[in-house]
Chain A
Amino acid sequence: MTKTTETTGYNERLEQKLAKIFAGGQQKYHEKMKESNKLFVRDRLKLLFDDENYAEDGRFANVEAEDLPADGVVTAIGKVNGETVCVMANDSTVKAGSWGSRTVEKIIRIQETAEKMQVPMLYLVDSAGARITDQLDMFPNRRGAGKIFHNQVRMSGMVPQVCLLFGPSAAGGAYIPAFCDIVIMVDGNASMYLGSPRMAEKVIGEKVTLEEMGGARMHCTVSGVGDVLVATEEEAISEARRYLQNFPANFAIKPEKIEAKAAKAGRSLEAIIPENQNAPFDMYELIDQLVDEGSFFDIKKLFAGELITGIARIDGQVVGILANQPKVKGGVLFGDSADKGAKFINLCDAFSIPLLFLADVPGFMIGTKVERAGIIRHGAKFIAAMSSATVPKISVIVRKAYGAGLYAMAGPAFEPDVCIALPTAQIAVMGPEAAVNAVYSNKIEAIEDPKERLQYVQQKHQEYKEEIDIYRLASELIIDEIVAPHQLRSVLSQRLSFYETKDLPLPYRKHPIYPV
């Protein structure tokens, strides 16, 4: 606000009101924020928007109440990376960021603006939840808090929705992060829970700390509700800005190509990939050799590490990567990895980000534990999401792709635009050891001489390997291409540019019955 030289009484009144609003809640709450390394809501917005280029709506909400500046939430439209976005940001210095009727109305209105303008919606959450004293005005009504979640669901896949969690997101409020595309959480400060530890003790008798039950680290490593764990609020904001660079403003626009960068200097793919199918290696090292240096944005890095999911650039072209990680749990797929893959595919497919699958997968996990936990229905989510994605899909068989693992990683039957094999690729229902055991176990056991038995097994392994030889699969047109590992990056770059115009009509129906 610039002061005019001819300040009138009207302007003085306005400036007094504004000064009060800009100051937020009481000084003691500001000090409390500082002690826990938290920023005041208006400082968060300064960091988020380009050169403070934003405009606020509903700034005077509840101005007559005196102690509820902006009614505890700032809602604004402005520029991030030169693109328009809408933002709601709780002010936890005002009644702990709790929601009154005007708070809720402001959030609903900024969501409506995001939908009308078809731009991303960001939620900067730091709130204790509903103001129980005001519940009839903000909880059950048509434009009550439920409408916020209803809008989120409606806008999902239409415009990007990002949650930055700086403090608590309690009870019903915890659904804001859950309905976002991505949740960035500040370690030590952010938390999500339906019932607080105090409530858990009173209602079910459980004694637990907030960090154990709903802390940022727990959600980013165990529950999977959190996607990116960061150390500071500044980092959360810069990560959100970095994430958005990969996305168009809405589903109808395609993501833009940016300036290309070389891949990080490192070992060749030939050196990275061990010949022994069963030996572990670090898939991150391989990804580094395929993508533009520094472009990889890891999503759910700390959750279900056996499947890597992240968005990157190859020669400036955006791509969503799903890669099995042989170093973690052998790269075997579990229920959590299936969930992780399914959500990531839905995210990329919604915003026209092509998908690249890097397969080195022994299959889905077997055994009592996982069957009881419903690995079949979890796996179905992953396969359904991959199968229904209509963006360009490139399937690369790095080493083994066994059983339903081949399916999940966009195997030939799922209409990838191309299925590329490296010379180390091995596609089969199961690996040679397991297959020979399954087919010939009776015969093997019947051979008494151990030497003879070993010889027999080795011979059968050899026959099996010949049967699934990758050149045989290429000859049968099962795979489309065999590529030398060191050429993979340039091949992928070329394919991505060829597939830019892909346009698949969706099947005529209302929607599938999503496996859940």
Chain B
Amino acid sequence: MSDNHPVPGAVAPRRAKRSRRFLRNPQAVISALVLVLIGGAVLLAPLLSTDDPGAAELSKAFAGAEPGHPLGFDSAGRDVWSRLLHGGRNTLGGALIALAVALSIGVPSGLVAGYYGKWFDALANWVGNFVMALPAMVVLLASRAILGPTMWVLMVVLGVLVAPSFFRLVRGIVANVRGELYVDAARVSGLRDRRIIARHVLIVVRAPIIIQTALVAGIAISLQAGLEFLGIGSGDLPTWGAMLNEAFQNVQRSPEFMVWPGLALGVTSAALVLLASALRDVLEDGDAKAPTPRAARRARVAASTTTDDAGPRASLLSVRDLAVSYGSGPSAVDVVHGVDLDVAEGEILGLVGQSGSGKTQTAFSVLGILPEGGRVSRGSILVAGTEVVGLPEKAYRALRGDVIAYVPQEPMTNLDPAFTIGSQLVEPMRLRLGLSRKAAAERALELLRQVEIADPRRVFHAYPHQISGGMAQRVLIAGAMSCDPRLLIADEPTTALDVTVQAEVLELLRRLQADRGLGVLLVTHNLGVVADLCDRVAVMNAGRIVETDVTHQVLANPRHPYTRTLIDAVLDDAPARPAWVAPRADGTEVPT
């Protein structure tokens, strides 16, 4: 690969990384190796075995292994080793035909249907669904009755039958990509459709097609073997399925003949399926590992090394020297480095900073709900006097809901779409407060009324997708209030809402806080919200608190340069930018 040319050079590392990931995945390497071995042996069949697979020598029927005939002879006295190799040619060759037919029908039609849509999409989709509803085996049997017992013709039919699986795969991905902004941009910049499909669309579908090909190859091989096993294929052609059929007829006399074709079929299909799933890991999702909450919990335990030089600790929430890191060992990355925070009862503390400054990570570590891979690596968090760093999960859970509550940022994705609003509100109250179903439902309605929802009964019975974003945020606030917490962690509670709804939700938060004497940790990047709501502010930048003080002090006399930059960025009476002036070719300028 040439490193001098900038364009291939930019692509090369990713490709190299993929091949390295492939080589490092033992499942991928081993299954690919097995397939190469089988394919090679089958291709070299005439060299590996000199016997004619069809030559019968009746005197040798059921004879055991002898020199030159390592697997012995079958019921008709034919060499099993030779039949196995030549049979593999027909079995795998048949599967290749089916694959070729399926790919050449499924991929182009999927591309066209996904990219252009319209009538072709509707028609092709209908045909695809119809073909998928046909049981392949039964249709193959039927077409054998009509088209005659030629294995190769049946494989073409099989190819047509499995083509919809490629069609659906490609169509789905292409329709998604079609809606992406970069494809729109390519169209706007005048690229032809053919070029867009070649450059932007094919790249996305390549990996899924490779994976699907491996899976469909396995299906084609097993269906083909099944047909031959039933004695439906071309009678005299040696295939693994036909060998199984012959062995099955003599299964009482010498069952060992089932072993070789069975093994060949089993190993080939297994290698294909394993290769497909390994390829999926390598090509698609590098981090598709199952979350392991237990390991994360174990990792979260860290020594609380507290230094009390940050002043006296508040009674409700007190964070000292908090560090959050992702990963482990030398590759660990710290995202929060030594944060100190205090929230007293009845106080609203604003935690401000730009995106990526570690605000949300700090909030999540107080709640003990850091995402997979993250952990509190240092420091102390006191919640209502309880040290929660290293606290066992069960004891921690006892704090969530009735001591600390959480209001998330994005209302619509934070409600379980499969349950009604009511049941989601009732569930924690029944579990945490031990209320009866009726009492919990009444309390939930009361809460919905308190968060100023006009028709609580309708919302109670609605599903999340039936209510608006502002309503959903009110529901989430009601949920956070349901078990009478003392500390509320609100992570950008208004960012995802319309401006008018924002004001209402902030007003609601302020009222609830005042009524209940809540302590609030309000994570936000909006200084207007801070000025409006917060008693004190902590300014966060790059994982550190750079300044903490009473709100008006911070806003009026920022001490840290970063705070000044933040405030300057939103000043209302800052001078407007001068009109843009286009330079003219002769050097003079004209306002546009």
Q: Do A and B come from one complex?
A: no
Interface residues of B (CB under 8 A from A): none
Interface residues of A (CB under 8 A from B): none
